[in-house]
Amino acid sequence: MKKLSIVAMVLMLLSVPAMAQENETVLTEPGTTPDNFMYFMDVAMDNLALAMTFNDDAKIEKQLEIAEERLAEARAMAEKGDIDAMQKAADEHGKMLGKLKTELKGIENGDSEEELKKELKIQHRIREHSNKVEDVKDGLKIKIKVKGNITEEQQELIDSILASLEGQTGEVKIEIENETTRTKIKIKMETGKDGDEIETEIENELGITKEKQEEALEEINKAQKDLNKTLKEYAEMNVTPHNSTVDEINELLDQAQAAFDAGNYEEAEDMAKEADDLIEELEDKLEGSVQDEDDKGEAKDLEDEDKNGSDEYGVDDDDSEDYYGKKDSTDENGYDMRSD
């Protein structure tokens, strides 16, 4: 049992820091963080800069920049262990994305195709921000696991805040997708052209398609690499993974590859990420299995020590109480054999 524990510890120490480095997301510097008493001034200055930005495109870009700064602040506070400050940054992140969501509803252009082009640019930027939120969540989970210095309650609070960051970003993603759908319908009504075809042409023109392709391929390769690594760890620890979960992961990866081959790169990336989430669950189950074995091993060691402690004096369990004078020690005549 102890040998299994040592192997598990070595593998975790070797693999987790490397995984943390892979998941490290490059964000803008957080600057003044919520744990600083001057933080309200930082927020006020950002809001003032936004108010002084009058161009619609520039305003939306500014809102995304500020949202990324708030994301960086939330990550920094989580790493520091200041959950209240992390919550404050997450709240400000939500407020900024709320402003962005309102801004998206006002996108208009006399030329519907130009309007779609503008929306697709914004949609791509929002997707980039969404990916950063996911990367921050994954990176923090790994770092917290390495440090192992937070309570279960703190972990639940951090997970809740990270979920709120994802939810805030998800709402904006849905809003911009709705806007592009409405614009494509307008194109069809005004010109008779197929909106999806126009969308593909614009994304090719802007280089968005190539970026989507690269991101999808990277995510598929990452998920496959993570699966191979996890299955190898299971084999080295002589533990059998849950076959239905492995089958589901392989099915998702096959579907992701099929979507990629069909040119549906966003769908392929999403499926690969879903597979990676299941792989992460496999990792957690493996660690849980190792911990269970450790607990059983420690319990058995204690049991053996107790047994050895009794046998050391040549006394079995039934006689031990008599040896220490706890059982009846009189002879048939009632004479105490322990007395002089």
Residue by residue, DSSP assigns 73-118 as HHHHHHHHT-HHHHHHHHHHHHHHHHHHHHHHTT---SSHHHHHHH
**Most confidently modeled of 10-14, 128-132, 140-144, 319-323?**
128-132
For range 237-251, the mean pLDDT: 90
For range 139-166, the mean pLDDT: 87
Q: What is the Cα 280 distance to its own chain's centre?
A: 9
Q: What is the pLDDT of residues 26-56, one digit of tens each?
A: 788 888 999 999 999 999 999 999 999 999 8
Using CA atoms, how far apart are residues 236 and 232, in angstroms rounded to an integer? 6
Distances (CA, A) of 35 to 48, 87, 154: 21, 11, 17
Please check whether residue 199 is in contact with residue 116, taking contact to mean a CB–CB distance below 8 angstroms: yes
DSSP letter for 32, please: S
300 vs 207, residue with greater confidence = 207
Whether the CA torsion 329, 331, 336, 337 is positive or negative: it is: negative
314 vs 228, residue with greater confidence = 228
Q: pLDDT at position 27, please?
A: 84
Please check whether residue 107 is in contact with residue 118, taking contact to mean a CB–CB distance below 8 angstroms: yes
For range 134-163, the mean pLDDT: 87
Whether the CA torsion 239, 241, 243, 244 is positive or negative: it is: positive
pTM of the predicted protein model? 0.75
Using CA atoms, how far apart are residues 286 and 239, in angstroms rounded to an integer? 8
Cα angle 274, 277, 281; round to 5: 140
pLDDT of 187 > 70? The answer is yes
Q: What is the Cα 41 distance to its own chain's centre?
A: 31
How confident is the prediction for the chain on average, in pLDDT?
83
Helix segments in 148-264, DSSP class H = 152-191, 195-206, 208-236, 243-261
For range 96-115, the mean pLDDT: 89
Percent of the chain predicted with pLDDT > 70: 77
Residue by residue, DSSP assigns 163-174 as HHHHHHHHHHHH
Q: What is the pLDDT of residues 206-218, one digit of tens each?
A: 999 999 999 999 9
CA R_g for the chain: 30
300 vs 285, residue with greater confidence = 285
Residue whose entry in the numeric block shows the structure tokens 């979920």: 163
pLDDT of 183 > 70? The answer is yes
Confidence of residue 93 (pLDDT cuts 50, 70, 90): very high
Using CA atoms, how far apart are residues 308 and 327, in angstroms rounded to an integer? 22
pLDDT of 266 > 70? The answer is yes
- Which stretch of 4-8, 28-32, 176-180, 276-280 has the lowest confidence by average pLDDT? 4-8
pLDDT of 5 > 90? The answer is no
Amino acid at 186: K
